[in-house]
Structure 1
Amino acid sequence: MFVKQEIAHSELPEHADGVTLSLGELLYYKTQTVRWLPPAKSLWSQINGQHKSTQNGRGMNFSEVRQYQPGDDIRSIDWRVTARTGKPHTKIFHEEREQPVMLYLDFGKSMRFGSKLMLKSVQMAHMASLISWLAVDQKDRIGAILDSGSDLFDIKPTSRNKGPLQLFNQLIKMHNQILTTDVEHESPLSKGLNALHRLCPKGSEIIICSDFIRFDHVKDKVLLTQLRQHNRVQFVQFFDPLELGQTNFRGVEKVTNGQQTRWLSFSTKQNRQKLESAFQSEQQKIASLCRSLAIPYYSISSAVPLISQIAGTNK
């Protein structure tokens, strides 16, 4: 169930209403790619700093085994062939020209929420659009796993304009359908992480977009460690100001954490501070996990236009 208060529509991107998704609002971000390519001081330039495009040095794709030659990297020696032939042999890798960029997009119930400008899920779709166009602009392939909370939809990495358009069509269809449906029991985030582990080609750039409400700090850490062995992983967390107790509403409202439901009064400062404290505690846990696994971590508000936020990060 989503909540949406009165907003200033002039702050929304063209064609956007903050709740449903349209192709027009996602195509809008194609015009923004030039502004946010490095060396722009933006969130994307920070994300892109982890992302090595087009020329990746020694690629992840195995090509052949040949006899060792002076100057070859001894770390690439194929010890099995060396032992069998009695002569040192080395593995040769061919350079990757297109790197897969895989998005994991969490459209679970908690993401279908917004108290001010737009739903968290809509803001995430805007971020996915910008990343998609930037990836294609850098000659990379874009793919995704869409998680509705109950079902997963995978889109194989595809290059050029076909990649983003294929993603947007499925994204819009799924998002607008789930706004009118309710799932009693959602799958854990680990289901999506397992799918990433199974479907992502080695050497992928994986960007996990979620509010991480369904994240299990014990089980999912194991899956993230496995993903990190052969891929670059990054976290982008989406949040709403109401989750921090930041609201002008002073009435009583029914709230839920996905497990328990209760009535909460927003009229008392103490209750609003409890909300903020609980949110910050969970956010710190996620940030700490990311630091322990060397995973870059960013957070995005649903109450501020995306372009304004990424422009203001890293001043």
Structure 2
Amino acid sequence: MDANELLKKIRKIEIKTKGLSQNIFAGEYHSAFKGRGMTFSEVREYQYGDDIRDIDWNVTARHNRPYVKVYEEEREMTVMLLVDVSGSRNFGAMGEQKRLMIAEIAATLAFSAIQNNDKIGMIFFSDHVEKFIPPKKGRRHILFLIRELLDFTPEHTGTDISLALRYMTDALKKRCTTFLISDFIDSGDYYRALSIANNKHDVTAIQVYDRRDAQLPDVGLMRVQDLETGALRWVNTSSGRVRKAFNKWWYERQQVMTDRFNRCGVDYASIATDEDYVKSLMGLFKKRGVR
């Protein structure tokens, strides 16, 4: 897109997502993610109502009465956005394209982070790590991230979630809050990398998908292209057997994805491009905030 069109889109996303982060997500973001990073402050005598899991058994043994560890909330977190820029993000049969919704969700999270005095960074990935943007603060940095989200052109089209997670785990030594944003169309097994990443960091997954990812329309013979491999083929969408097989493939893939998230203890949201992502994110934040 040309420079004027890009600037207009950046401004439009800034106005919308900054407003959301200030007026809707501010408190929910803080309760959901602040406090996940806690640092040790001191020990004091046990008081009624204290969590027994916080008892310092060494100090308790020395004084013959219970003492608990006291933690304080880290005032500053590092937030990383792992953004899928593979070929399938350009598909959008219903609602807006995945890439535009991904950009809005990422921008909303970025403005929420900066309001809470957090640093924000980003990793673009396909089946390669396409770009690493180190965490920083400030409105100028956020606008740079939005511009990259809208205008970045990857060199590769495939998807390797495991690679992106391993790169993030190796690159960031300090514990951070990580949002993995993808359609999760990945034939590889990223369970081990996700488990390791979530043990070191705090990973939340956000799936952005199109309805046509899940169900073929009944429109007769249709030529389709795999946006990640470039392969072309003809599909008879009038065949109920073909449509049923496609839907079964989608359902089974979704089951594998959610099973990986659950086994790794990763919170997640699944959002269609014709849905209101605000409602889904609010639900995700509230679920984390009450735990």
- For 2:13, the equivalent position in structure 1 comes to 26
Structure 2 letter corresponding to 1:128: A
Rounded Cα–Cα distance in structure 1 between residues aligned with 2:159 and 2:243: 29
Which segments of 5 or more consecutive residues in structure 1 lack a partner in the other structure? 1-14, 40-44, 78-91
- Structure 1 counterpart of 2:77: 99
SS at match of 1:58: strand
Which sections of structure 2, spanning at least 5 residues, go unmatched? 46-53, 60-69, 287-291
Question: Once the two structures are aligned, what percentage of the paired residues are identical?
Answer: 19
Q: Does 1:196 align with 2:174?
A: no
The residue aligned with 1:267 is: 238
Deviation at 1:112, TM superposition (A): 1.6
Letter in 2 for 1:29: T
- Does the Cα contact within 8 Å between 1:145 and 1:152 map onto a contact in 2? yes
* Contact residue 125 and residue 131 of structure 2 kept, 8 A: yes
CA distance in 2, matches of 1:151, 1:22: 25
Single out whichever of 300-309 and 192-201 deviates more from structure 2: 300-309
Contact in 1 for aligned 2:221/2:234 (Cα 8 Å): no
Code of the residue aligned with 1:36 in structure 2: it is I
- The corresponding residue for 2:204 is 234
SS in 1 for 2:250: helix
CA contact (8 A) 1:255 1:262 kept: yes
Q: Do 1:193 and 1:224's aligned partners in 2 also have CA atoms closer than 8 Å?
A: yes
In structure 2, C-alpha distance between the alignment counterparts of 1:21 and 1:302, rounded to whole Å: 21
From 223, 227, 239, the equivalent of 1:253 is 223
Correspondence for 2:91 among 113, 116, 119 = 113
Provide TM-score, normalisation by structure 1. 0.70
Flag the 1:101–1:311 CA change in 2: closer, same or farther, 3 A: closer
Q: Tell me which residue corresponds to 1:158.
A: 136
Q: Cα–Cα, structure 1 residues 52 and 312, in superposed 2: closer, same or farther, change >3 Å?
A: closer
| Corresponding residue of 1:4 | none
Q: CA offset at residue 95 of structure 1?
A: 6.1
Structure 2 distance, partners of 1:76, 1:33, is 43
My pick for the range that moved more, 28-37 or 278-287, is 28-37
